[in-house]
Amino acid sequence: MALIRHARTEDYPAILAIYNEAVLTSSATFDIQPLSMEERTSWFQKFSSTHPLLVFVIEGEVAGYACISPYNSKPAYSRTAEVSIYIWKKYHGKGIGKKLMKAVLKEAKSADIHTVIAGITAGNDASIRLHEGFGFRLAGTVKEVGYKFADWHDVHYYQVFL
């Protein structure tokens, strides 16, 4: 059985492992070294009903997660958020990203978020297709802002209005 729910403390090790897999194998994140639980604890604690952290669970295993984070700490940005979705590689291509995106955008809309931003590293075509499928449109590209795996990476910023 599969379900989507709000993350619990006991999910944190799996969420961290999923993220660290991306750190080591992809340019989806610009962290270069895996993070420890201690380093990630403050990140886990920032989520709330306004900025949820959701997990996709298959037969008791966290297969992926999605979150809505504050876009900027200045008060005028309070109704703008950033979305992130990470899936275990072994679960890629199974539609989990679509289910998580649908759920997290529904929660963002319920929290009165006006617009959601996604920063997507150039070349991550699967992520671009996922976001475009939910109405995200390219807002702009920042060139060569991340250096990882001995190469410079551009970041495309996509945006959707809820």
What does the pLDDT look like over 39-92, one tens digit per residue? Answer: 998 899 999 988 999 999 999 999 999 999 999 999 999 999 999 999 999 999
Contact by Cβ (8 Å): 83, 118: yes
Q: Tell me how far apart the alpha carbons of residues 141 and 121 are, in angstroms, rounded to a whole number.
A: 9
Domain count, the chain: 1
- Nearest in space to 127 (alpha carbons), one of 84, 162, 161, 68: 84
- pLDDT of amino acid 115: 98
- pLDDT of amino acid 1: 87
- Nearest in space to 26 (alpha carbons), one of 123, 129, 139, 130: 123
Residue 111's domain is classified under what CATH number? 3.40.630.30
Q: Tell me how far apart the alpha carbons of residues 120 and 107 are, in angstroms, rounded to a whole number.
A: 21
Domain that holds residue 34: 2-161
Q: Tell me how far apart the alpha carbons of residues 101 and 105 are, in angstroms, rounded to a whole number.
A: 6
